[in-house]
Structure 1
Amino acid sequence: YEEDDEALLGSRIDMSDIFKHISVVYVDALRDVLREMKNNRNPVKRIMETIESKISSDNVESLKTIIQQLNETITSVPEIRKIGENINRQLNSIIGSVYSPNLLLSSTMSDDMGSLAKFLSMKPEQNIDLDLLGLGHLNMIYLALKIVEFEACRSRELLNIMLIEEPEAHIHHHIQKTLFEGLNLQKNYTQILMTTHSVHLAEVSEISRMNVLKSFNGKSIVMNPANNLNSFAKEKLKKNNLNLINAVERYLDVKRNGLLFSKGVILVEGDAEEILIPQIVKKLFGINLDELGIGLINVGSTSFEYIASLFDDDRIQRKCAIVTDLDEQAIPSEHRLYKSTAQEKGQARKEKLSSLFNENNWVNCFYANTTFEIEFLDVNKENILTYVSPIIDDAFKDKKTITAYKEEIQSEQYLERNLAMLKLANHVGKGWFAIELGEKIDFLIKIPKYILNAIAFACQEIVDLSIYKKILLHTIDLYEETTELSALSASLKTSDTADLNIAIISLLEYFGKDEDVVYLIN
């Protein structure tokens, strides 16, 4: 069997020596690629050791002859030969000719094939030094070398495992995708495990081959987003022909797959919520959703059940809040914006979501009785003209129209002001209206309670006393200074962990239950 092809049949494995046949390489996130490629155990050297026996005897003899000739040529260079003569002369002058050895300075480059690796180095085609390449290029070269090394060694290794931490380091996101797909092709002989924070890598990955890690109460929880997902589609959604895993993978583009990295998730149905909610939270609480660990995802429809199904005891154990409209009729029935079936559909949607997720501790639904725009108007009617007046002025040229909108949007008549708000949003475009509104809001802004409840639900596993402290310090700055408030502020700033809770409770009592910040924290 000595002539058998080991690349095809594999080598004989002694079970007592099994660990010698398992190759594990860890590629650190803070890797020094240049140093790795120049050390004695670099990938090129290992590849040379593997292929040494495969070099033909004719080539071996030819190389040995060339190396011997090179050694002789180097040694015969007059300047080099003279160094040896000078050394001998100095020895003679120091200890005399009787005791001094006669030395010869010669080139002794080894003709052993294994030693040739140290003379081999990677060089770009442009003939520039590796040191001048960017870190991204060096990372890709190193990963390619490791794959080639594994391919060369696979006839003698039982298992090759490559652990890559943050392969996206210093690499443009377009190349990240290509790199990931390229590494994916190596699965026949190498098990590659990657850790990443890159939404671009997550976009081209498959959730069935992905684990999400969650740190909670000092432990790490491993969660697979695809676990029993197709069973959910059949049993709960009654979709017998739907491969929900594949559908979700196609849906999770670079924008939406942020939910895989978020510590809590809010799903919304449109552009207005996606644009305006983060701005209101920042203005009102002095903190952004990222600091709360919340990813806000625009589903772009009311089909929440497909994405919300990712959050479950079997899959991703993170809080997911669904924010949607019940679309109760709140404008005159004779107007074209009145949709006779909207309320019925809203109620049907609520019943459907309740039946799917009522027993799921990770998913909860929060409803606007009407629409987001009308709910926003309802809680901000005292200051609404301050926010929308500049938008109305820009949207219309006719002074009568401008005056009419401003009067109607402040009307005491519920249906009239709601209609004015919806007409304005539709005229400007709901997404663009939200953008303009976000630029006009100030610290007096109010946030609808159903959205506050959604935020509180989504971040309940994340927020701690330090987050509450930051929110309250921001709120204090919005109030007129008083002796009592100054004392409470000083207590909040100087309290240690043990007393911080008491300081927070005291401030909540001072602000009163009507404040949004009090409602959120409570």
Structure 2
Amino acid sequence: MYISKISLKNYRNFGNIPFEMKLKKFTTIIGSNNVGKTNLLESIGLILSQDITMFRKRILQVEDINYATRLKFKQDILNQSIPFDKLEFPEVKVQLTFEGMDNKQLSVVGDWFSTKTMDKAKLTYVFKPTNNFDREAWVTKQRGNIKLLMSERKGIKQEDLLKFIEFPIKSYQYIIYGGNDRTNRVDPYFLSMLKLELLDALRDAKRELIANGDYKLLYRILNQGEENAYEDIKEVLSDLDEKIRGNDQLSDIRKTLIEHLNKISLQGTGENNIDFHFSTLETGDILKKLSLIYGQEPITIDRNGLGRNNLLYISLILSRLAPEENIDTCFRIVGIEEPEAHLHPHLQKHLATNIEQINAKRDDLQIILTSHSTHITSSLNTENMAVLYRDGSDIKKHYITDGFEETKKGKEHRRYLEKYLDATKSSMFYARRILLVEGIAEQILVPLLFNLSYGKTLDSIGCNIINVNGVAFRHFLEIIRNGYFIKCVVLTDGDVGKKSENRAVNLKNDYEKPYSTIKVEVNKETFEKELIEANKSGLGKEILLEALNHTRLNKGPEYAKEIKNNEIETDIFFGMIEDYKSEFAFNLGDEIKNVNKDAFQVPNYIKEGFEFILD
């Protein structure tokens, strides 16, 4: 069994229009900060979490209700022309759809079927006003207060009036129901058989790895077995207590303590009889004294590095999922936020690969992983990878391989992406704008040219530059064509006079015209020639010659003496750097980093690309 779809409405940054997303047995969710990845995982916890803290979180706070929805509600309260019975009191709704149940799971979800074929089940959490909440009286009171305020404060602005409308959060309650019927309240016993384990991004791994509290992870794992599982330890502890009572040193200390207690406390109550013991024989108390040591040269958790503790923490979670006949759980979902925490890149890749393999071997386990790490995402199956992104005020999703049809061309695009979406190129999914370029020279210089033109970096506007190492732009543009609505500019060579001179024109016709989010800017020949042509004289010429001097230590100064005050000849200059493009790009970059905007001219086709990105 697995959650095949989630629907969210009015929960935190998810608005009044329901956000719906298909989920897979293993799903990787990526995207920029504050786009809603954590909120999506925590919304599942509103239904499935058995953690005591989540029970409390089911009763939402005002801030858990979408801000824009609350604002519109208050504006409607201010609008006296809207009758109270037409006012829509915000409801938070989270709905999970389950598929692929086995026989045991079918017996648990039997009351929650949502289709006549009984192949899908639903659980829904709703947070809304109670049935006995007097909406008319509440609205009348709020509007009366506003009228009084307006009469007392002439000219008060509407945005100030909104602050005086109290949201009726105390009159809200939650229900969890199964299937399509709101009256079909879920039995807590059956709900407890479906469990969520959530490793949040701010997890305290060290704290969870010490079993000194009922809700610590290590204690919960140790305590999930049978009561008689630790009888042999109890026998040893019982013998140890006998030894403690017979120890002469401890007996002397005991007598001394009793003597002093008798002097300063009431006599005859029997309360002053004390003794030493190592541990009670209660299983829970025994387990709380256990801790882990780790490594070939074992050290305690307190002395362990953050990276090792995080690996151990994740391993404990996964070990807790091992099937146990005596545990009445038929389905688990694990949400892991930022597994890359404190891990170096090699370990990140290794961890990602192994988590995916663990999930594949279990029919009763679903894993949802969120990450900001390109090392993690580049190591996982792109079929299971979805991007969350903002489109205006809306949150949208897109599976990376969506839209790739099972045609020869579609399969070719998919194979290419799986092979080449390495740690660098997968960064495109964390941006809202991208620049696709042909090679290393553009990758080095285009960001500097943007900074020179606008006095800010591409990073500051959420734009990534992706070097496709050639002209394989179509593979990347297919992702955008298929529904990932991100602004994209392609900077490519026109290759005039070559066999491939129609390539760029075809690219422009196929992608730029049908899709308003894509712009293909084409130069005449090559990137370097365009730079030279735009800076043949003046300050630009001096900058180019200085970069040439550092690239070609002999030919550079010779060429500068040869042309003297004449303009640079494009073909001759290009011939001297053609086999040194990347080195020249580095040297030119050093030269233009500290010059003013007018010193070096940016070619027009690049300027137009920048303008499109900024628009």
Using the size of structure 1 for normalisation, the TM-score is 0.73
Aligned residue type for 2:199: V
d(CA) in 1 for partners of 2:385 and 2:228? 39
**Offset, 1:93:** 4.0
The SS at the match of 2:293 is coil
Alpha-carbon contact 2:536-2:570 (below 8 Å) kept: no
The SS at the match of 1:297 is strand
**Offset, 1:319:** 1.0
d(CA) in 1 for partners of 2:420 and 2:515? 23
Indicate which of 142, 147, 152 corresponds to 2:313: 142
**Offset, 1:109:** 2.8
Closer/same/farther in 2, CA of residues 409 and 424 from structure 1, 3 Å limit: farther
Closer/same/farther in 2, CA of residues 142 and 436 from structure 1, 3 Å limit: same
The SS at the match of 2:521 is strand
Indicate the residue corresponding to 2:581 in structure 1: 430
Indicate which of 436, 440, 462 corresponds to 2:591: 440
Indicate which of 483, 487, 503 corresponds to 1:319: 487
Alpha-carbon contact 2:489-2:520 (below 8 Å) kept: yes
Closer/same/farther in 2, CA of residues 54 and 102 from structure 1, 3 Å limit: closer
Indicate the residue corresponding to 1:123 in structure 2: 293
Kindly name which structure, 1 or 2, has the bigger radius of gyration based on alpha carbons.
1
1:208-267 per-position Cα deviation (integer Å, ceiling 9, x unaligned): 111111134333212211111235xx3xxx627x35323201111112212111211111
The answer as to 2:394 corresponding to 1:219 is yes
Closer/same/farther in 2, CA of residues 164 and 82 from structure 1, 3 Å limit: same
Closer/same/farther in 2, CA of residues 290 and 101 from structure 1, 3 Å limit: closer
The answer as to 2:202 corresponding to 1:30 is yes
Indicate the residue corresponding to 2:279 in structure 1: 109
Q: What is the total number of aligned residue pairs between the two structures? A: 423
Q: Higher helix proportion, which one?
A: 1
d(CA) in 1 for partners of 2:441 and 2:541? 19
User: Aligned ranges for residues 212-361 of structure 1 at < 5 Å?
Assistant: 212-230=387-405, 234=407, 239=409, 242-312=411-481, 314-328=482-496, 341-342=497-498, 345-361=500-516
**Offset, 1:459:** 4.0
Indicate the residue corresponding to 2:348 in structure 1: 176
Question: Where do 5+ consecutive residues of structure 2 fail to align?
Answer: 1-101, 110-186
Indicate the residue corresponding to 2:216 in structure 1: 42
Aligned residue type for 1:206: N
Structure 1 vs Structure 2 CA RMSD: 3.0
Aligned residue type for 1:181: T
Indicate the residue corresponding to 1:397 in structure 2: 554
Alpha-carbon contact 2:207-2:216 (below 8 Å) kept: no
Q: Percent identity?
A: 23
1:449-471 per-position Cα deviation (integer Å, ceiling 9, x unaligned): 211221232344xxxxxxxxxxx
Alpha-carbon contact 1:91-1:100 (below 8 Å) kept: no
Closer/same/farther in 2, CA of residues 98 and 217 from structure 1, 3 Å limit: same
d(CA) in 2 for partners of 1:430 and 1:244? 29
**Offset, 1:158:** 1.8
Indicate which of 345, 364, 369 corresponds to 2:524: 369
Indicate the residue corresponding to 2:128 in structure 1: none
d(CA) in 2 for partners of 1:254 and 1:91? 69
The answer as to 2:89 corresponding to 1:89 is no
Closer/same/farther in 2, CA of residues 348 and 12 from structure 1, 3 Å limit: closer
**Offset, 1:389:** 2.2
d(CA) in 2 for partners of 1:251 and 1:435? 24
Alpha-carbon contact 2:438-2:467 (below 8 Å) kept: yes
Closer/same/farther in 2, CA of residues 362 and 95 from structure 1, 3 Å limit: closer
The answer as to 2:539 corresponding to 1:386 is no
The SS at the match of 2:484 is coil
Q: Higher strand proportion, which one?
A: 2
d(CA) in 2 for partners of 1:12 and 1:202? 34
d(CA) in 1 for partners of 2:107 and 2:255? 55
1:108-130 per-position Cα deviation (integer Å, ceiling 9, x unaligned): 73334444321221012424222
Alpha-carbon contact 2:489-2:609 (below 8 Å) kept: yes
**Offset, 1:27:** 1.5
Closer/same/farther in 2, CA of residues 96 and 440 from structure 1, 3 Å limit: closer
Using the size of structure 2 for normalisation, the TM-score is 0.63
Alpha-carbon contact 1:409-1:418 (below 8 Å) kept: no
Indicate which of 161, 180, 187 corresponds to 2:333: 161
Question: Where do 5+ consecutive residues of structure 1 fail to align?
Answer: 1-7, 329-340, 412-416, 461-522
Alpha-carbon contact 1:84-1:103 (below 8 Å) kept: no
